[in-house]
């Protein structure tokens, strides 16, 4: 159970029949209450028969807040929403009495659809509700037929500030059969990040940034300033590509022409929910482009360095970098550099 936080539904699962089907149980009429998420709106996905929750400074999305969902309820909801590429994330909502709560919503892992006009529940229900129930029954049959793999017993948020830490009590299915004893696992909740190594294929040079990192300091590193690619969190409603372009402007004053995907992966799934979208960004890197940058509001102090490819590659091959996303992007570029230059 997660009564302190709750889950807010803004789209089709507001339909009691659909929610009942997905949960596999009857709903208590007092199980939910109305809540509002400001700065967002619910819009039709263009060309589709379902809605999207999107950022909208002038908007106020109205949804249903559920605070008595069980671990099994969350498992079924996660399965259903996961089929469409959605995962839970935290937001702040206001209930009917004007009280603010931290809650969760389902948010797309990546921007897959373009938002259209404002969504209307009654229109959706009359035109698509019946066929949505048929499709959902077919999808949830897959969950019911699938063997149980993880038993979610309890969850606690033990720290929340710039990042968060959750503790889980759970059992997982073992390769040899049966379930593990109940184990406690702590997870660092870090969100998704866009990471980009700027490269000028004409001048054959890259740009890297340098900044103080508390993690390196906490590890006892005598030099907690690390050489990195440009990186930053993906804001709500942003695609990884949009975030990469925004961070390039903020950290180094760069305008990226093209983004070449390197990897989309977990950096350390044993301890963190973080998910990295790594790119090589094609751009112009003339002499004098390196300097100081960073978002003042975030107390960033960033220095950029312009490196000829030969110097960067020699340092890469000698193990001179200490950041895995930079190493991954550097080796990808080393392998694909000739083709990238030829295309440029």
Tell me, yes or no, whether 175 lies in a domain: yes
Question: So what's the pLDDT on residue 110?
Answer: 65
Tell me, yes or no, whether 34 lies in a domain: yes
Same domain (yes/no): 206, 339:
yes
Using the predicted structure, report yes or no on whether residue 11 has a pLDDT greater than 60: yes
Tell me, yes or no, whether 290 lies in a domain: yes
Confidence of residue 338 (pLDDT cuts 50, 70, 90): very high
**Is 298 an annotated catalytic residue?**
yes
Same domain (yes/no): 181, 297:
no
CATH number at residue 121: 3.10.490.10
Confidence of residue 20 (pLDDT cuts 50, 70, 90): very high
Question: So what's the pLDDT on residue 107?
Answer: 86
**pLDDT tens digits along 207-249:** 999 999 999 999 999 999 999 999 999 887 788 999 999 999 9
Same domain (yes/no): 227, 333:
yes
Using the predicted structure, report yes or no on whether residue 3 has a pLDDT greater than 70: no
State the distance between the two ends of the chain, measured CA to CA, in whole angstroms. 55
Cα gap 186→171, rounded to integer Å: 14
Tell me, yes or no, whether 33 lies in a domain: yes
Tell me, yes or no, whether 1 lies in a domain: no
- Number of compact structural domains in the chain: 3
Cα gap 273→78, rounded to integer Å: 15
Confidence of residue 142 (pLDDT cuts 50, 70, 90): confident
Which of 116, 146, 176 is the last residue before a domain boundary?
146
Helices (H), the chain: 16-23, 71-82, 121-145, 214-218, 240-252, 309-317, 324-343
Same domain (yes/no): 91, 176:
no
More confident position, 205 or 178:
205
Question: So what's the pLDDT on residue 1?
Answer: 37
Mean of all residue pLDDT scores within the chain: 90
Confidence of residue 145 (pLDDT cuts 50, 70, 90): confident
Tell me, yes or no, whether 2 lies in a domain: no
Same domain (yes/no): 198, 335:
yes
Same domain (yes/no): 139, 169:
no
* Catalytic site residue from 184, 228, 298, 338: 298
User: Whole-prediction pTM value?
Assistant: 0.63
Q: Which domain holds residue 30?
A: 7-146
């Amino acid at each position: 159970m997660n009564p302190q936080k709750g889950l807010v539904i803004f789209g089709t699962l507001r339909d009691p029949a659909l929610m009942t089907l997905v949960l596999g149980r009857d709903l208590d009429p007092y199980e939910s209450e109305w809540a509002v998420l400001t700065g967002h709106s619910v819009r039709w996905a263009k060309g589709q028969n379902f809605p999207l929750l999107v950022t909208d400074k002038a908007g106020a999305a109205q949804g249903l807040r559920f605070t008595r969902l069980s671990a099994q309820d969350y498992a079924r909801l996660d399965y259903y929403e996961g089929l469409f590429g959605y995962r839970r994330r935290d937001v702040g909502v206001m209930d009917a009495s004007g009280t603010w709560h931290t809650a969760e919503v389902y948010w797309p892992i990546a921007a897959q659809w373009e938002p259209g006009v404002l969504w209307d529940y009654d229109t959706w229900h009359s035109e698509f509700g019946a066929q949505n129930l048929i499709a959902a029954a077919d999808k949830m049959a897959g969950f019911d037929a699938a063997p149980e793999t993880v038993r979610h017993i309890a969850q606690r948020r033990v720290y929340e500030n710039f990042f968060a830490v959750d503790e889980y009590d759970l059992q997982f299915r073992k390769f040899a059969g049966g379930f593990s004893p109940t184990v406690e696992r702590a997870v660092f909740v870090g969100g998704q990040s866009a990471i980009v190594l700027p490269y000028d294929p004409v001048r054959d040079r890259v740009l890297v940034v340098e900044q103080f990192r508390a993690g390196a300091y906490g590890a006892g590193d005598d030099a907690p300033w690390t050489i990195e690619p440009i990186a930053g969190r993906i804001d709500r409603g942003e695609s990884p590509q949009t975030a990469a372009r925004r961070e390039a402007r903020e950290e180094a004053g760069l305008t990226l022409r093209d983004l070449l995907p390197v990897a989309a992966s977990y950096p350390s799934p044993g301890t963190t929910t973080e998910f990295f979208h790594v790119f090589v960004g094609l751009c112009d890197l003339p002499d004098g482009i390196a300097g100081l940058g960073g978002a003042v509001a975030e107390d960033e102090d960033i220095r950029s360095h312009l490196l000829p490819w030969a110097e960067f590659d020699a340092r890469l091959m000698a193990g001179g970098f200490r950041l895995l996303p930079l190493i991954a992007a550097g080796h990808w570029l080393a392998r694909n550099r000739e083709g990238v230059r030829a295309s440029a």
